[in-house]
Amino acid sequence: MADEKATPLLDELEKGPYPSFVREIKLAAKNNKMAAGVLHQLEKSYRDKIGYWKHGGIVGVMGYGGGVIGRYSALPDDFPEVAHFHTLRVNQPAGWFYTADVLRKICDMWDKHGSGLTNMHGSTGDMVLLGTRTEELESVFGELTKMGFDLGGSGSDVRTPSCCVGPARCEWACFDTLKTCYEITQHYQDELHRPAFPYKYKFKFAGCANDCVAAIARSDMSFIGTWKDDIQQDDEEIKNYAKAGLDIQSDVVENCPGKCMTWDPDNMKLTIDNSYCLKCMHCINVLPKALRPGKQRGVTILLGAKAPIVEGALLSSVLIPFYDIDNEGLDDLFELVEDGIWDVWTENGKNRERVGEFIQRVGMGNFLESIGLEPDPHMISHPRDNPYIFFDQEDEEEEA
Amino acid sequence: MADEKATPLLDELEKGPYPSFVREIKLAAKNNKMAAGVLHQLEKSYRDKIGYWKHGGIVGVMGYGGGVIGRYSALPDDFPEVAHFHTLRVNQPAGWFYTADVLRKICDMWDKHGSGLTNMHGSTGDMVLLGTRTEELESVFGELTKMGFDLGGSGSDVRTPSCCVGPARCEWACFDTLKTCYEITQHYQDELHRPAFPYKYKFKFAGCANDCVAAIARSDMSFIGTWKDDIQQDDEEIKNYAKAGLDIQSDVVENCPGKCMTWDPDNMKLTIDNSYCLKCMHCINVLPKALRPGKQRGVTILLGAKAPIVEGALLSSVLIPFYDIDNEGLDDLFELVEDGIWDVWTENGKNRERVGEFIQRVGMGNFLESIGLEPDPHMISHPRDNPYIFFDQEDEEEEA
Amino acid sequence: MTERLTDIGPPHYEKFLPPVVKENYGKWKYHEILKPGVMVHVSESGAKLFTVRMASPRLLATDTIRWIADLAEKYCGGYLRWTSRNNVEFLLTDESNIDPLIGEIKKNGFIIGGMGNSISNIVHTQGWVHCHSSATDASGIVKAVMDDLSQHFENMDLPGKLRIALACCLNMCGAVHCSDIAILGTHQRPPRIEHDTLDKFCEIPNVVSACPTAAIRPATVDGKPSVEVLEENCMYCGNCYTVCPSMPLNNAETDGISIWVGGKVSDARSIPKFSKLAIPFIPNNPPRWPEVVEAVHNIVDVWAKNAKKYERMGDWIERIGWPEFFRLTGIEFTKYHIDDFKHAGLSFKRTAQMRHLPEE
Amino acid sequence: MTERLTDIGPPHYEKFLPPVVKENYGKWKYHEILKPGVMVHVSESGAKLFTVRMASPRLLATDTIRWIADLAEKYCGGYLRWTSRNNVEFLLTDESNIDPLIGEIKKNGFIIGGMGNSISNIVHTQGWVHCHSSATDASGIVKAVMDDLSQHFENMDLPGKLRIALACCLNMCGAVHCSDIAILGTHQRPPRIEHDTLDKFCEIPNVVSACPTAAIRPATVDGKPSVEVLEENCMYCGNCYTVCPSMPLNNAETDGISIWVGGKVSDARSIPKFSKLAIPFIPNNPPRWPEVVEAVHNIVDVWAKNAKKYERMGDWIERIGWPEFFRLTGIEFTKYHIDDFKHAGLSFKRTAQMRHLPEE
Ligand code: SRM
Ligand code: SRM
Ligand code: SRM
Ligand code: SRM
Ligand code: SF4
Ligand code: SF4
Ligand code: SF4
Ligand code: SF4
Ligand code: SF4
Ligand code: SF4
Ligand code: SF4
Ligand code: SF4
């Protein structure tokens, strides 16, 4: 054990053009013992090719069941600074907008009470404050709430919702992602902080089918903006693109999954059969000055995405084909979620069964019935191809 | 019970332009009591909306475990003529070719020993002799073998193989479907007549991807003709089609799933990037005088199709991407089937588990290993998307 | 007495090949459909083989087979074949024989066609004529449906081939699961258990393990070993009945038919696919099943009117989308259409790509 | 003492929106990428908002955040945001501030880019920095891979967007299962059972039911209640460890990485899809995992060279076919690539449509 403080392996990762996390840990380690501890334990992990963290126990702030991930070093004698190394998940502002001011306040607080290390942001969307001791948790929480921040979710609760930048900066937002995200987050504060579900429940909001927040892949309830009427089209701008050398035929028309576009090169005229348009965004993406989503906008609401544990990964699938969320508001939705989905899932879901797995187990048809939604062919990519239909007894009586 | 012989409901089915099965039954019923019996029992079924056949017991000819389906009327008192009504499955000649002569001989025999009713043919491919009594079975069998015919399969055995008309009349046959069908049938006489498998095993042979015998949908082992080199192309004939008014662009090029064709209307020149051709047959189907399969021909062998019972229907999937069957012969194939597939399946398959279900249960990778075939990316539509890999212990030792 | 022959296999096909086929075996160059039901194959040698395709009800009396043999003798040197969809093919070398042959065929009440972009014969099964498993008859529905569609057999007036198949129970004999339109006999009730005989005819452990949904449990009824069925788990697959005669499923009140669409077998253009549920249930209504005839007619019509050239039913539906299929056909979409078997999740729409239907 | 606040939720986002955003909220008309890492959004009002996107290692020290805040104050009126892939976005209204800002960013060793057809930041997780479950580190591999690929972050020289993600175990935090390239920490051994503590820390029935393959059975070991694992049924998913700390899976000898390709999230052109297995296993080789870097580099290169404009990894592979993907990348195809989980059969090639590879 030559130089206890040497980190020859991690030092290798200070080299190279991309910003280095090792530089960050060292920066924090200058004034912060916990950061130094994590640096040295990590160097040992690099040497031994294995992690040295123990399964976290239940730690948290008073009255909350989530928001803190407990973490303990497996080698507390060697790295006493990180004997405790819990993280706090701090609910980010919708769209991840900050001011210089508020960031500095958080930094000051975290230097005082934690490791000085953060994740900006965690994969769910939270600001992750990386590493502190159990006895600091209440102080951190107190200072956060004073600044107007609160903790996000962890465990079997509503997880911190997140959204794309949406109408704040994007010309394609088909609904107000930030407002919806904020309002749903506020409405479900209790569900976010006090786990009462079979498993986690995530919300994500993307303003259009580009899905810049990966909602369809990683949220139990995914909101994706769309429209019903015709794409707004500016023929002059299309000509400009064509004149500037864009190959409308091969770049736009041939990539259209709806196969609903034709290009007349002689007249530089693009024609869209909007009744076949799948609202995929491709043509709009390529011709942002010429094409825009229609005016009759809303969301498609999809249900059930999750990572592979246990039954294999799922993508969300259509639950509500179209909802004019900005005009019709959230009340009906709250009702559907609370009195419908959560009620049924909480009542009948197995422990650690995400809502997507639950639906597959009980059957989408039964699930829809239990939450009071009509089956709609937009919910499926195709009808069943196996003949194993469970017929209701009632229906039979009628038919017989 | 007015007129015992009246069949008012069935009579309705003598009307209309399509040839009538009722007419056939009545025709036979003129001279044949069994045919009359089935007519009247059927009329009762039409009246009552239910079938009146009992589960068949085990009946058959000496030394054979298959080829006869036992059948008894559920109402033998009302319809004593069909108290027994067994069918014989007679192995058809490959390609369903007959001479007038041989048909007449079969008819004479069947009038004597059976109902005078047939199915030309059953869905597996057999000539089905519809309805006789247990005590007639040996006589029928004796007369059939004298004419050079034998029984087909039933039960857990090799089922009667069948094939498309192939090189006998079709210009697109990429291998000799009739010869292969005949030789495999002859080679597996024992397996065809003496059930020794977990369940049935069907062979079907189609000369090209049009699959005129539905091999990929209903045979455990499906042979489908294909080629490796370039489509044979006659540019003059293509011009003729175009001149005659065929729209090569929309009818041919735009329907090509390989997206590998281009049409130059000015020079009436069709160009195929054969390296991307999927051998789907479409362009050849539309331009039979101008395009033909390549010269380097063979088969793709696929495994596992079946109807839905129990685990859901399966289509066959690729086992051997390409095999030059006409030149390399059947010996290697017999070895693979007998010492490979059947050995493993018979040893490890569950009762009533088709080979396709068996492969899904044990895993294609393991199955290939056990039959000694190398994995090939042509066997899959895509690699796994779930992370649940069972690593071999051996591999790990090496890698560690 | 002569030796008892066994395991001789089928006769060699060469015995039955007409001379023109033997001479040109593997040497065919191209073919042309001359008119509905008539095609010619031309060999590299220039030889020609004419085929006349005749519809058949499949269930044939020996007298009809003799009549067919006579025709073959008169016009085809005695040669003929059946097709994989149970039609009869007369194989001629003398072109001038075609029309007289067709004349005789029609005179006897048979029709010709089924080639090219038409509806060919309905592949089907036994039904009430022979099978113990059936939820409906086979031949009767086939006759009624084909009477209605025979103009599409006799003409080539469709966008592409249309293959209809019928199976009288979920065992699905034939390739009905991959048909443009599949007509399927469907039970709606769990098996009736004949406790009296069950122990005698069936091996209880086999019965229990036969059930894919584990709905069957051993039970003692009136002192006898038997089984019980958890009715809410039963999906009426009939697998128990196949292994145990004392558990019949057929039921005059509740048996009937479901209709499936969009399957195919060929690899032409698109890959093979299964048929998907269109109509979950239509009660049996013999002798002519008018509701089934009407339902099939409607689906064929809507497809024929809307599909592009060469577009099989399934490819057409994939292009327009299932919501549009249900809208155009007027078929009701119900919870039964949504899969709830093994791979159900994969049939949910896992994308935001969507066409909104016109508001009506 | 003041009242303890709870359930206040996050601050309202409006507090942090720059004035130009508030004024033009929902009124943006179009955008243009001006150069790598710099874009402008133009409002219906004519107002312009410039965005400069800076790479971030995600793991940030407070001092770096303060430096970022300082830059925002100096050039952006104090306003900035983070993106959904953890990059920093400076929000400017004064175009002339762009270059000085970029100058300061680069001086401090950060880079800008990640826009348009480029590689953006690698979404990733905790690894050895914080998680108990990890089969590999996260940040270290990300750094090594991005060092190698940074030219594709700083330039828009690719056919389409390329999204890489990393998760350090099969729990797959982040959306790695739908990434163009996913780097996944992978265990290869069943859990070690710490029989001493198991009864104390874990509820045995929970542990038993947590296993998706039913590999875990209750057992008594040295007189203590514990469990045993049927090793041949274990697929190293780690679900048992999640519910029971006494069953760790990590193993310095056999842990490592698998590589997955062709997933996507957006609905643009094609629908979202899962990533598929490319390389089943690469051993851990810290600090710079050269084999992983090389493997990712190769896949990116082959894709960049062969894909058409806008063609995401998965769409490209679907066009050329998986056999061609394996041929072009030189990656070995093994039995591990063939699915054997729930929906395995659906990934078998159920068609005779086939491209034969050139013989080499
Ligand atoms: C911190 C974070 C990773 C990161 O570095 O960003 C994370 C970290 C953990 N995740 Fe996660 N997950 C994080 C986002 C995700 C995501 C992405 C998302 O939310 O968009 C997913 C995939 C989407 C999903 O929910 O399916 C995800 C899927 C999982 C799973 C698998 C769940 C499943 O149903 O398949 C587990 C296992 C479990 O829940 O038992 C898991 C469990 C965990 C645990 C709590 C470990 C455990 O077994 O208990 C990790 C704690 C690590 C630590 O020591 O800090 N984490 N986890 C992310 C949360 C930060 C935040 O709040 O912003
Ligand atoms: C006669 C025939 C129908 C017809 O009218 O054409 C037929 C009739 C029966 N089939 Fe079949 N199958 C017939 C071709 C098929 C086909 C088509 C084929 O072979 O190409 C299939 C679908 C392909 C397949 O094998 O999967 C087929 C799939 C079944 C099944 C479901 C098997 C499965 O694995 O899913 C059963 C049920 C069983 O085996 O227990 C079955 C069972 C039966 C039984 C034996 C009924 C039973 O439960 O034991 C039927 C006897 C009916 C009777 O009274 O004559 N039959 N059966 C066909 C055989 C005639 C011939 O030899 O040419
Ligand atoms: C005679 C027969 C083979 C046999 O050994 O008996 C046959 C014969 C021919 N088929 Fe077929 N096919 C025959 C059953 C099939 C089947 C099997 C089935 O229907 O169960 C299929 C698969 C159907 C499916 O995909 O579901 C089949 C799919 C084709 C196709 C592809 C059609 C498509 O577009 O998907 C072609 C090509 C074409 O017609 O352009 C084809 C083409 C042909 C050609 C043109 C081949 C040739 O050059 O000789 C033959 C005349 C076609 C016609 O009738 O228009 N044949 N053909 C079968 C006639 C059945 C009948 O009586 O109607
Ligand atoms: C800033 C950000 C949203 C946010 O709230 O943070 C964003 C912003 C924009 N996205 Fe995005 N996307 C952002 C994450 C995503 C994601 C999510 C992800 O990567 O995890 C996706 C889905 C990726 C996938 O499919 O796997 C995403 C798929 C797209 C697409 C569709 C690309 C495609 O061809 O599949 C577009 C359209 C385009 O670029 O032509 C798009 C277009 C855009 C536009 C042009 C929208 C606009 O008009 O403002 C924005 C600038 C694009 C750019 O960077 O080139 N954005 N975008 C995210 C930046 C992440 C980063 O730092 O790199
Ligand atoms: S998801 Fe759509 S609305 Fe949201 S940022 Fe991306 S492109 Fe804009
Ligand atoms: S949004 Fe997509 S589907 Fe609609 S017209 Fe544009 S490219 Fe086609
Ligand atoms: S499968 Fe091919 S070779 Fe056989 S008859 Fe049909 S078209 Fe001809
Ligand atoms: S055979 Fe099919 S894939 Fe090949 S060129 Fe012709 S249409 Fe295209
Ligand atoms: S489909 Fe069913 S009822 Fe019809 S013949 Fe086959 S087994 Fe019998
Ligand atoms: S019909 Fe099928 S599901 Fe119902 S009890 Fe019998 S085997 Fe089970
Ligand atoms: S992916 Fe696994 S190891 Fe990595 S943070 Fe998530 S749970 Fe922990
Ligand atoms: S790692 Fe997964 S498969 Fe293995 S024992 Fe644990 S839960 Fe079961």
**A89 φ, ψ (degrees, to nearest 5):** -100, 110
* pLDDT value, residue A271: 98
> Does B282 reach chain C within 8 Å, measured CB to CB?
yes
Task: Identify the CA nearest to C236 among candidates D4, A389, D159, A185.
Answer: A389
Q: What is the mean pLDDT of residues A301-308?
A: 96
Facing C267 at nearest CB: one of D271, D343, D352? D352
Task: For residue C72, give Cα distances in angstroms to B127, B164, C67.
Answer: 19, 21, 9
* Per-residue pLDDT tens over the stretch A170-196: 999 999 999 999 999 999 999 999 999
* pLDDT value, residue B73: 97
The DSSP-derived string for A176-200 is -HHHHHHHHHHHTHHHHHS--SSS-
Contact between D347 and D340 under an 8 Å Cβ cutoff? The reply is no
Give domain status of residue A219, yes or no. yes
Task: Match 């993907």 to its residue by tokens.
Answer: D325
* pLDDT value, residue C2: 64
**Residue A342: which H helix or E strand, with range?**
none
The per-residue b/e assignment along C152-162, b for 16 or more CB within 10 angstroms, e otherwise, is bbbbbebbbbb
* Per-residue pLDDT tens over the stretch B53-75: 998 878 999 999 999 999 999 99
B209/B315 same-domain check? yes
Q: What is the mean pLDDT of residues C176-195?
A: 96
* pLDDT value, residue A185: 98
Give domain status of residue B188, yes or no. yes
Kindly report the pTM of this predicted structure. Answer: 0.96
Shortest CA distance from A207: residue in chain D: D26
Q: Could you tell me which residues of chain A have a Cβ less than 8 Å from any Cβ in chain B?
A: 308, 312-313, 385-388
Contact between C297 and C148 under an 8 Å Cβ cutoff? The reply is yes
C202 to chain A nearest CA, in Å?
24
Which residue of D271, D274, D354 to mutate against C (max C Cβ within 10 Å)? D271
Q: By three-state DSSP, how is residue D18 classified?
A: coil
Contact between B212 and B202 under an 8 Å Cβ cutoff? The reply is no
A259/A349 same-domain check? no
CB under 8 Å, gap of 24 or more: what pairs does B269-275 form?
A: B269/B235, B269/B238, B270/B233, B270/B235, B270/B238, B272/B230, B272/B231, B272/B233, B274/B229, B274/B230, B274/B231, B275/D355, B275/D358
Specify burial of residue A106 (Cβ count, 10 A radius: 0-12, 13-18, 19+).
buried
Does pLDDT of A396 surpass 50? Answer: no
- In this structure, the number of other CB atoms found within 10 A of the CB of residue D233 comes to 14
d(Cα B315, Cα B215) in Å, to the nearest integer?
9
Counted across chains C and D, CB pairs separated by less than 8 A come out at: 21
Instruction: Give the CATH number, domain containing residue B360.
Output: 3.30.413.10
Q: Which chains share 3+ C-beta pairs under 8 angstroms with A?
A: B, C, D
Among B118, B146, B174, give the residue marking a domain's end: B146
Chain C residues close to A369, C-beta within 8 Å = 335
Pocket test for ligand 11, best of D132, D134, D170 (most atoms within 8 A of CB): D134
Q: Supply the range of the domain harboring residue B241.
A: 232-292
A310/A387 same-domain check? yes
Kindly give the distance from the C-alpha atom of residue C16 to the centroid of ligand 7, in angstroms, as a whole number.
19
d(Cα D165, Cα D184) in Å, to the nearest integer?
8
Q: By three-state DSSP, how is residue B81 classified?
A: helix
The amino acid present at C128, given as its one-letter code, is W
Q: CA C280, C286, C291, C296: dihedral to nearest 10 degrees?
A: 80
d(Cα A249, Cα A242) in Å, to the nearest integer?
10
Portion of chain B with pLDDT greater than 90, in percent: 95
B222/B197 same-domain check? yes
- In this structure, the number of other CB atoms found within 10 A of the CB of residue D95 comes to 12
Count of domains observed in chain B: 3
Task: Identify the CA nearest to B10 among candidates B40, B51, B48.
Answer: B40
Kindly give the distance from the C-alpha atom of residue B212 to the centroid of ligand 3, in angstroms, as a whole number.
5
Q: In the structure, what pLDDT confidence band is assigned to residue B2 with cuts at 50, 70 and 90?
A: very low
A219/A308 same-domain check? yes
User: Is any ligand 3 atom within 6 A of the Cβ of residue C206?
Assistant: no
C191 to chain A nearest CA, in Å?
14
Q: First-to-last CA distance in chain C?
A: 80
* Per-residue pLDDT tens over the stretch A233-275: 999 999 999 999 999 999 999 999 999 999 999 999 999 999 9
Chain A residues close to D242, C-beta within 8 Å = 309
Q: CB-based contacts of D79: which residues, under 8 Å, 6+ apart?
A: A97, A98, A99, A100, D16, D17, D18, D21, D72, D91
Does pLDDT of B366 surpass 80? Answer: yes
The residue nearest atom 2 of ligand 6, judged by CA position, is: A280
**Residue C35: which H helix or E strand, with range?**
strand C28-35
Among A250, A275, A292, give the residue marking a domain's end: A292
A276/A392 same-domain check? no
The residue nearest atom 8 of ligand 8, judged by CA position, is: B256
Contact between B169 and C25 under an 8 Å Cβ cutoff? The reply is no
* pLDDT value, residue A397: 47
Contact between D351 and D294 under an 8 Å Cβ cutoff? The reply is no
Continuous H helices in chain A: 8-11, 21-29, 33-48, 100-113, 137-147, 177-187, 189-193, 215-218, 235-243, 282-286, 325-328, 331-335, 343-348, 355-362, 364-371, 393-399
- The most distant pair of C-alpha atoms in chain C lies apart, rounded to whole Å, by 81
Instruction: Give the CATH number, domain containing residue B39.
Output: 3.30.70.2500
**C271 φ, ψ (degrees, to nearest 5):** -80, 160
Q: By three-state DSSP, how is residue C348 classified?
A: strand
Ligand 4 atom, smallest distance to D117 CA: 55
Does pLDDT of A400 surpass 70? Answer: no
Task: Identify the CA nearest to D78 among candidates D22, D19, D126, D145.
Answer: D19
A64/A29 same-domain check? yes
Instruction: Give the CATH number, domain containing residue B283.
Output: 3.30.70.20
The DSSP-derived string for D76-103 is HTTEEEE-TTS-EEEEES-GGGHHHHHH
B104/B41 same-domain check? yes
d(Cα C22, Cα C15) in Å, to the nearest integer?
10
Q: Which residues have any ligand 9 atom within 6 Å of their CB?
A: C 125-126, 131, 133-134, 167-169, 171-173
Shortest CA distance from A311: residue in chain B: B386
Give domain status of residue A157, yes or no. no
Q: In the structure, what pLDDT confidence band is assigned to residue C185 with cuts at 50, 70 and 90?
A: very high
Task: Identify the CA nearest to A299 among candidates A282, A321, A281.
Answer: A321
**C49 φ, ψ (degrees, to nearest 5):** -125, 120
Mean pLDDT of chain B: 95
* pLDDT value, residue A310: 84
Contact between D62 and A111 under an 8 Å Cβ cutoff? The reply is yes
Among A240, A257, A292, give the residue marking a domain's end: A292
Give domain status of residue B155, yes or no. no
Give domain status of residue A155, yes or no. no
Ligand 1 atom, smallest distance to A214 CA: 20
A30/A140 same-domain check? yes
* Per-residue pLDDT tens over the stretch D213-243: 999 999 999 999 999 999 999 999 999 999 9
* pLDDT value, residue A394: 63
DSSP conformational letter for D123:
B
Q: In the structure, what pLDDT confidence band is assigned to residue B1 with cuts at 50, 70 and 90?
A: very low
Task: Identify the CA nearest to C267 among candidates B297, D319, D350.
Answer: D350
Give domain status of residue B154, yes or no. no
d(Cα C277, Cα C291) in Å, to the nearest integer?
16
Facing C267 at nearest CB: one of D267, D271, D353? D353
* pLDDT value, residue A2: 42
d(Cα C328, Cα A289) in Å, to the nearest integer?
36
User: Is any ligand 3 atom within 6 A of the Cβ of residue C84?
Assistant: yes
Give the ligand with the smallest distance to the CA of D173.
1
**C336 φ, ψ (degrees, to nearest 5):** -65, -25
* Per-residue pLDDT tens over the stretch B238-290: 999 999 999 999 999 999 999 999 999 999 999 999 999 999 999 999 999 99
Mean pLDDT of chain C: 96
Specify burial of residue C107 (Cβ count, 10 A radius: 0-12, 13-18, 19+).
exposed
The amino acid present at A229, given as its one-letter code, is D
Note the residue count of chain A. 400
Give domain status of residue A151, yes or no. no
Q: In the structure, what pLDDT confidence band is assigned to residue B5 with cuts at 50, 70 and 90?
A: confident
Kindly give the distance from the C-alpha atom of residue C340 to the centroid of ligand 10, in angstroms, as a whole number.
16
Facing D339 at nearest CB: one of B226, B315, B386? B386
Kindly give the distance from the C-alpha atom of residue D211 to the centroid of ligand 12, in angstroms, as a whole number.
5
* pLDDT value, residue B400: 38
d(Cα B261, Cα B283) in Å, to the nearest integer?
9
Q: What is the mean pLDDT of residues A206-220?
A: 98
d(Cα C152, Cα B17) in Å, to the nearest integer?
12
A344/A207 same-domain check? yes
Counted across chains A and C, CB pairs separated by less than 8 A come out at: 175
B50/B172 same-domain check? no
A304/A278 same-domain check? no
- Ranges of chain D with pLDDT below 70: 1-2, 359-360
> Does A64 reach chain D within 8 Å, measured CB to CB?
yes
Contact between D41 and A169 under an 8 Å Cβ cutoff? The reply is yes
Does pLDDT of B79 surpass 90? Answer: yes
* pLDDT value, residue D187: 97
> Beta partners for B233?
B291
d(Cα D246, Cα D200) in Å, to the nearest integer?
9
The residue nearest atom 6 of ligand 8, judged by CA position, is: B283
Q: Which chains share 3+ C-beta pairs under 8 angstroms with C?
A: A, B, D
Give domain status of residue B1, yes or no. no
